[in-house]
Amino acid sequence: MNRLHMICNAHLDPVWQWEWEEGAAEAISTFRHAADFCETFDGFVFNHNEVTLYRWVEEYEPELFTRIQRLVAAGKWHIMGGWYLQPDCNMPSGESFVRQILIGRRYFLDKFGVQPSTAINFDPFGHNRGLVQIVAKSGYDSYLFCRPNQNDCVLETDDFTWVGFDGSEITGHRASTFYNNSLGKAREKIENWMNTYAGKQVGIVLWGIGNHGGGPSRIDLERLAELQAECAEYQILHSTPENYFRELRASGATLPRHETDINPWGPGCYTSQVRIKQKHRLLENMLYQTEKMLANAALQGLVEYPREDLAEALRDLLVAEFHDILPGSSIQPVEEMGFRLMDHGLEILSRIRARAFFALASGQPKANEGEIPILVYSPHPFPVRAVVECEFQLQDAIWEEQFTVATVHQDGVALPTQIEKEFGNLALDWRKRTVFTAELAPSQMNRFDCTLTVLPKRPLPALVPEAGAYRIKTDDLEFHIKTATGRVDKFAANGYDYCHPDAFKLLVIRDNDDPWETQKQSFREVMGAFELMTAEDGTRFSGVTGGTIQSVRAIEDGGVRTVIEAIFRYGDSFAIIQYKIPKHGCAVEVTLRVHWNEKSKMLKLAVPTVWADAGYCGQVAYGVQEFPTTGRELVAQKWVAAYSMKDDKALTVINDGSYGSDCAEGEIRLSLLRSAAYAAHPIGERPLVLQDRYTERIDQGERLYRFWFTPGARADRLQRVDREALARNEVPFAISFNPSGHGVKPLPGVTLSDDVVQMTALKLAEASDHYVIRLFEPTGTPRSTTLRIPAANVEKKIQLGTFEIKTILFDSHTKTLRETDLLEK
């Protein structure tokens, strides 16, 4: 007889339409309700996941928690999934997915003694391919999800073998009938499934009352019991995901292979509430950077590794990745809660990172008279060529008319240096912002010293426009910014043009009030563009009262870079673009400050490359995804790249907190923001928002962005960009600090011998005093690297396959290295 597995669940979105305390109240009520049914209905099994909810119950209703533990032990309550929660499954980094699983699995093993073998993510809006390797190396053999449906993502069948970037495989199932039902309609849902999939040997249906709550009901359980007794075609079971996948494998069915991502659904979520996304990236970066610094300091006995502080910051990150916080589909109070949550994590990390920094500054000599030291710690196991920015104070504030400039030296050698405007606005010769180019040695403190020179007054940029454009030409780069438009007319490297004229245009796209964008997959209808302001309007907007200034102007020019600023307007909104063109190398930094006051519109930055048939790819969780070039909205992490196979060229774009983009006919369009309403979901033909009052919109006001555009040979660019993106996100930490001269200089932490392999994590293991070193091959080409730990005089050659994640455990007592899985066993 055919068998149908019914999976009763209560999908609680604790932070979407309500805040933290309300979510806790809903979780406690639902769990108590479910426990009652587990105890009174024979054969019924309740399924649930997500550590966050169990932690609420454990803290606020300990008697209920103990009751659930008994039900789990009796097989009446099933812990499914085992992750910390159901995160967004596109935007967190690969390492964040590892932590979602690691921390979740440890909790459920510790509290309930269980280790689920099926990963579940019912409600997230798409699933990146990198999950396959992560899930497989975390002890799972299967993956159960609901979105996207067949209209958005075509699958040959709902049961399939999902293949990862590295060749890992898991069994996947899309629950096309979704995870919920209306009160009293569970039987009808089961009957509809049996009619639709008549004859299917093994089946699965998810059920539970309501969207975001409810779970089982008496009327549903009674009607399902009747159906179980009446049905002749199927043996209908209250069951678990593991039972379904076990029977599916035992059936011997040949499953189609799916060798790409499972996207898209709700592509507006790649951009909505952009400040939440940026804050999330900042917390991710700071957490993993701080772990690396503390691990190095602890390994050398300089500090005690602060496990609980790091664990608390990590929990803040994991909750912030919830699939309605990070995607920006929540109500405004939840957005504010997200900021509060992540700022809490950032504050913890700021304090313990400082502890690591000053410990690692041990042994640095005192400054010479008249010199100002700058210490820069690089957490990366490879040399980093960086533009370092650091502010410091002169010994005293100088009230007379003069201007002090600094030259940065390393080991007595002068480096390209310039002084740019500091963050403050005191008209004194006092606070200095120095910018210099240096190569930072790996996994250690780098020492620089500033010598000072006094000039009669602040030097002004000497660069002036020629023939209607600022024309910057170096040995590597030619970059023209047209004074009539503020846009880029030429972007060439080593004699090759990468972009069409009129590049870096801010496009305003027709949009709507749905923050998910549930109805379409692209944002392509251009309503207009930001245009350069007149000199008079630009002067007024800039707050300048001492005369008229042009709306395209050179504001900085020195030994490191030239900075050109342009001021634009569209409707009630304004934008400031700064182009930072290097004196050496080809990486152009572009920063944007947008004052946005539009409704139901989207903003994109358009960069038209010269390749009409360009390919397009980008970083995803522990992988690189090839993207369609149809204009469909796409999601990537720290970088994207357009490239030409014919010309063997590429233009890579690194960001520090943006995720959405599209590409068509060679034009990259980077998504900056949307002004949808909060949590406005289409319901039939009803208006998305009330039409009798003001409705708050997402992302009104000032927003900031930062990108790095680097042209070059295709293979070289795609080989280098992953490390570059990591270094621009986990930025080497720079402070002007006068060391005491005491102590011994620490040795480098971890170094790698090759030019490609990444170290995505260096930390203490969760359950031992071993150190975890996570390596990743980011190009799709097998390679080897020599891992060295100079402080322990240990080294080992490591082989990595295509896109392989490899986790190494280092025992500092025995000085031995061994491979392990993602669970740090």
Percent of the chain topping pLDDT 70: 99
Rounded distance between C-alpha atoms, residue 707 and residue 278, angstroms = 13
35 with 64: CB under 8 angstroms?
Answer: yes
Q: Average pLDDT in the 550-566 region?
A: 98
What are the pLDDT digits (tens) for 654-671?
999 999 999 999 999 999
Question: Over 80: is that where the pLDDT of 214 sits?
Answer: no
Q: Using pLDDT thresholds of 50, 70 and 90, give the confidence band for residue 24.
A: confident
Rounded distance between C-alpha atoms, residue 440 and residue 710, angstroms = 20
Rounded distance between C-alpha atoms, residue 443 and residue 747, angstroms = 9
**For residue 548, which phi and psi values (nearest 5 degrees)?**
-90, 135
HEC states along 411-443?
CCEECCEEEECCCCCCCCEEEEEEEEEEEECCC
| pLDDT recorded at residue 25 | 85
Question: Over 70: is that where the pLDDT of 213 sits?
Answer: no
Closest C-alpha among 378, 442, 439, 367 to residue 406: 367
Rounded distance between C-alpha atoms, residue 118 and residue 139, angstroms = 9
DSSP letter for each residue of 753-812? SSSS-EEEEEEE-SSSSPEEEEEE--SSS-EEEEEEEGGGTEEEEEEE-TT-EEEEEEET
Rounded distance between C-alpha atoms, residue 437 and residue 439, angstroms = 7
Rounded distance between C-alpha atoms, residue 262 and residue 205, angstroms = 20
What are the pLDDT digits (tens) for 232-282?
999 999 999 999 999 999 999 999 999 999 999 999 999 999 999 999 999
Angle at 521 between CA 518 and CA 523, to 5 degrees: 105
Closest C-alpha among 583, 605, 586, 455 to residue 526: 605
DSSP-derived secondary structure letter, 67: H
| pLDDT recorded at residue 16 | 57
Structure tokens at 809: 């455990």
Report which residue type is found at 659.
Answer: Y
Percent of the chain topping pLDDT 90: 96
State whether residue 673 is helix, strand or coil: strand
| pLDDT recorded at residue 21 | 79
List the beta bridge partners of residue 22. Answer: none
Question: Over 60: is that where the pLDDT of 17 sits?
Answer: no
Q: Name residue, tokens 């890992």.
A: 168
Rounded distance between C-alpha atoms, residue 718 and residue 645, angstroms = 12
What are the pLDDT digits (tens) for 668-690?
999 999 999 999 999 999 999 99
| pLDDT recorded at residue 1 | 82
Sign of CA dihedral 531, 532, 537, 543: positive
Question: Over 90: is that where the pLDDT of 482 sits?
Answer: yes
| pLDDT recorded at residue 11 | 76
Supply the mean pLDDT for the chain.
96
DSSP-derived secondary structure letter, 609: B
What are the pLDDT digits (tens) for 69-81?
999 999 999 999 9
Question: Over 80: is that where the pLDDT of 14 sits?
Answer: no
Question: Over 80: is that where the pLDDT of 693 sits?
Answer: yes
Report which residue type is found at 685.
Answer: E
Report which residue type is found at 519.
Answer: Q
- 570-588 exposure pattern, b = at least 16 Cβ within 10 A, e = fewer: beebbbbbbbbbbbebbbb
Q: Average pLDDT in the 424-452 region?
A: 97
